[in-house]
A and B are shown apart, each in its own frame.
Chain A
Amino acid sequence: MQSLEPPLIALAGSPNCGKTSLFNALTGLNQKVGNYPGITVDRVKGSLKLSGDQWVDLMDVPGCYSLDIHSFDEKVGRDILLGRFNDEKKPSAIVAVIDATNLRRSLYLVIELQQLGCPVIVALNMMDEAHGRGLELDLAIFERELGCPIIPTVATKRKGIDQLKEKIQIVIKEGRAPEPPENFLHKIRRLDVIKATYTRVEEILRLATVKEMAPDTLTAKIDRWVLHPVWGLLILIGFLIFVFQLMFSWAGPVMDLVETGVTSIQSLVLGVMTEGLLQSFLVDGVIAGVGNFLVFLPQIMLLFLFLLFLEDWGYLGRAAFLLDGWMRKMGLPGRATVPLLSSHACAIPGIMAARTLESRSDRLAVMMVAPLTQCSARLPVYAILIAAFVPSSFLFGFLNLQGLVLFSLYTLGMLSALIMSYAMRKTVLTGSPSGLLMELPPYRIPQLSNVLRGVWQKSWSFVKKAGTVILVLSMILWVLVSFPRNADGSQSEINKSYAAQVGQTIQPVFEPLGFDWRLSTILIPAFGARELAVAAMGTVLSVQMSEDDPKFEGKLTEMVRKSFAPEVLMALLIWFVFAPQCISTFAVLVRETGGYKWPFFVGLYTIVLAYLGALSAKYIAQFIIT
């Protein structure tokens, strides 16, 4: 019987073998190449066209070294391969991607895969790199000894792709291999079996190797600096300072461009539409709300660009190595570096990346503190507040004082995340962080196309995810500030609106922090999404955007400076460092922790931190000023 659905081919391999590059080369589907263990968390499927108009589905399986699994994403991978993953059917064939520069570990996995009950095709990837280091293999002997077809590939240069497709077509025609032995999963867990498998790997390699590969001297040379106790740390700190300066000073021109674009769309609408409720809704509600969010997209993209570049280069694993020791003392495993760094772009990808961690207590620790890292949605608020009360002078002639303040806010966020995880390990989260055991990949020149594709994908999915929430919330915000109308239907004063009424009601709570009803009012939309605070600030301070004045931000900064005392702005700044202000983050937390208990805990502790932090900031600032 012939099924209508195309057959499923699984693409498996150990971390950093170039599996995702090969996936891209085969399907043309956009997907990120990771140079860090376990970057492929979500299931990614693509379609592949073989000759004669035959299509097959190709599934990218999360990387692992063995089918004896440890983390959540590895379990997903194994279940796909065994045909136990949700509604996915069992693969008709497995393409095992192996790294020619790391054959021992790669072949170990191949031998396990061969026992799974579907035909295996080996894609011998990165053959150019191995060749460059002098490796010569006798492919005929290699194939015979391993017992499955081997196709040499260079995924990044699209070499060997057609041969691989041909082989897939032949193999799926031939049909099935025997089912795995009953106790398969138990067997691969036995030490004597592991040893026997490795002995077999050694034997195959001894027979198939014509000329041995020279060691990777370049990686060793770079690591002498990058992992050096002093230089390594300085390089790491240098990278961090660089990216924050980059985001604060260099993203400026692009942001101005976006801002000008938003303003001209607004003036266009103002010009073609007659004045009225609908015009106000479009201009002040929809366009202003979404526009204020799009303005800081360049900064998010810069951060993603930087992280993806370091990842492709092979640096992120090194950063984890440098930080693991002390992070462990604070109750976080070194592997949490990547989730926590990603959280600086947005807490959502950070929380999702926690899936690559092995134990539930590690995942919880990361998810609980991720909201404390300073995500890019805080940037537009920081930009206004910092510009309003920090002089734009230079320290030592080159360090921008405003950039430095921004950097200290990020440091404060990171430090409080570490302290919080330490406190949680002593109280609500039992157990210590699980081990490190991570392979550091060789350095590889980042593929610009891969990095840019990753930036595009991540930014786009972020815009889609956050953008919808922003749009809905800015519409609600517009209603709150535009109503009730006056008796004649005209817009009433801002201080009579619903938003101001709520702001005035809750203001006594924020009195000790020095927030008046206007600042209390802007906190309300900020609980939904913190970047909405900028639009709200414009509204409560009655800063109008108009055709002849494209510099909304500059004007708003000026108004903020005139309206509030520096110590109050300082308190507000610290409030924004800690406060729980993102509906989307909570939605993701509920999904990932499987309940409301932990998200509620996050909301509670961050609001307490925010209140106490802002209060102390106000007094410290007062003390400094006097």
Chain B
Amino acid sequence: MCRTPNSHQLSELSLGTKGRILSVGCHENSDHIDERVILRLSHLGFLPDQEITVTNVAPIVAEPILVKVSQGYIALTRQEAALISVEEV
């Protein structure tokens, strides 16, 4: 179970929101999932309990988003961000 009452998908967070990662690989909203994307997210430091901040959103199509996680900034598409379940802090 990756959905709890106060959890959100990272893709739903608005600009400037801080959050804590609950789980990676949540895909209740997408029918097909690429295992490699989850691994890559993990390699880049998207792991449970890590703190994240949405720092930028790209113009016009509101995609991709830039997220601060473990000392660095990672750019990701909304589809990728949707795999990460977070709670706001």
Contact = CB atoms under 8 A, between A and B. Distances in A.
5 contacts: A65-B44, A108-B43, A198-B47, A329-B61, A436-B77
A435 interface: yes
A324 B63 contact: yes
Contact of A232 (B36, B41, B42, B59): B59
Given A194-B47, A437-B74, A438-B74, A223 B59 contact: no
Contacts of B36: 70
Contact of A223 (B42, B44, B55, B62): B55
Interface residues of A, number: 40
A70 B39 CA distance: 10
Nearest to B59: A229
A321 B71 contact: no
A435 B47 contact: no
Nearest to B25: A191
| Nearest 5 A/B pairs, CB to CB | A229-B59, A325-B61, A325-B63, A66-B43, A227-B56
Contacts of A223: 55-56, 66, 73
B71 A437 contact: no
Nearest to B62: A325
Contacts of A326: 60-61
Contacts of A101: 71
Interface in B30-58: 36-45, 47-48, 55-58
Contacts of A322: 58-59
A230 interface: yes
Nearest to A104: B70
A157 B47 CA distance: 35
Contacts of A104: 45, 70-71
A321 B58 contact: yes
A102 B60 CA distance: 31
B54 to A, nearest CB: 12
Nearest to B50: A198
B59 A191 contact: no
B72 interface: yes
Interface in A332-354: 334
A622 B70 CA distance: 61
B75 interface: yes
A105 B72 contact: yes
Contacts of B38: 191
A194 B56 CA distance: 27
A220 B72 CA distance: 11
Contacts of B48: 195
A279 B70 CA distance: 68
A435 B45 contact: no
B64 A325 contact: yes
A189 interface: yes
B14 interface: no
A68 B42 CA distance: 11
